[in-house]
């Protein structure tokens, strides 16, 4: 924790010192200002994650559940992630079960979970790779499966949800990160009464999040027709789907 807190502040201080030294060079000033702003945002994100993890651990993280109409909610979520995937020429698709009911859950909390999984998938998938989000009813709840065409070494899987843990040499594109994202996702899922698991083989990684339907679910609503019935969704290559 001390290392992760010190590093951004050290970078901010150095950037501010360089700003002072380059007052006559607008281009360099813009460069160091951008570094300082990026590191400030990184620090804020880290502190917010640490505070949320503390609240979750203490049982004081309050949920505000409501009925979530999943077809619209998930499409908006993917629309927000598409620019990141398009920048790497990746294929991002949604596979949604027909007639899936609304989910009684905290929409902000659900969004944090799914965005973290999608952004991680985009971050660690090679250009031209594929990312799929599959959503189906399962038992008394909803199953979200986020899959990407990148494999995690088997020895690393047991540690994937540890705080500050990052898989050695997995960040080939130097995106960075604190290693708190998946640890926070696990705590949020469990706080919502659900469970999360991961498996990785044959060049694919699948994160599975199951959440209970909730106390006040809405009746089933019509959704898009089923997609990709003939093949498991993670076996498709360039198939049609909601994008």
Instruction: Find the farthest-apart pair of alpha carbons in the chain and give their distance in angstroms, rounded.
Output: 65
Residue pair 95/241 in contact by the 8 Å Cβ criterion = yes
**20 torsion bin: left (phi>0), alpha (psi -120 to 50), beta (else):** alpha
pLDDT 10s digits, 36-59 = 888 888 788 788 888 888 888 888
Residue ranges in the chain modelled with pLDDT below 70: 1-3, 166-179, 215-243
Q: So what's the architecture of 66-235 in CATH?
A: 2-Layer Sandwich (3.30)
Using the 8-state DSSP alphabet, how is residue 231 labeled? Answer: S
Domain borders along the chain are 2-58, 66-235
- Percentage of the chain beyond pLDDT 90 is 42
Residue pair 161/189 in contact by the 8 Å Cβ criterion = no
Per CATH, is 2-58 categorized as 1.10.3720.10? no
Domains 2-58 and 66-235 share a fold: no
pLDDT at 168: 58
Q: Which of 20, 8, 9, 38 is nearest to 28 (CA)?
A: 20
Per DSSP, helices labelled H in the chain are 2-21, 26-58, 70-87, 107-124, 181-191
Long-range contacts of 79-82 (CB under 8 A, 24+ apart): 80/115, 81/115, 81/118, 81/119, 81/122, 82/243
pTM of this structure: 0.72
pLDDT at 108: 92
């Amino acid at each position: 924790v001390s290392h992760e807190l010190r590093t951004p502040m050290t970078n901010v201080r150095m950037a501010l010192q360089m700003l002072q030294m380059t007052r006559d060079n607008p281009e360099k000033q813009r460069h160091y200002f951008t570094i300082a702003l990026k590191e400030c945002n990184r620090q804020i994100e880290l502190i917010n994650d640490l505070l949320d993890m503390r609240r979750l651990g203490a049982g004081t993280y309050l949920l505000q559940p409501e009925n979530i109409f999943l077809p619209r909610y998930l499409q908006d979520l993917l629309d927000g992630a598409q620019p990141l995937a398009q920048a790497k020429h990746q294929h991002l698709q949604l596979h949604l079960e027909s007639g899936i009911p609304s989910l009684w859950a905290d929409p902000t909390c659900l969004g944090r979970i799914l965005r973290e999984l999608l952004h991680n998938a985009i971050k660690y998938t090679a250009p031209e790779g594929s990312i799929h989000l599959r959503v189906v009813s399962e038992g008394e709840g909803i199953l979200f499966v986020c899959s990407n065409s990148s494999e995690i070494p088997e020895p690393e899987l047991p540690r994937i949800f540890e705080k500050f843990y990052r898989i050695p040499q997995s960040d080939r594109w130097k995106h960075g990160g604190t290693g708190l994202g998946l640890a926070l996702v696990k705590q949020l899922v469990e706080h919502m009464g659900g469970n999360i698991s991961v498996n990785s083989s044959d060049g694919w990684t699948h994160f599975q999040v199951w959440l209970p339907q909730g106390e006040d679910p809405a009746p089933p609503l019509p959704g898009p027709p089923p997609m990709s019935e003939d093949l498991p969704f993670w076996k498709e290559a360039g198939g049609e789907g909601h994008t």
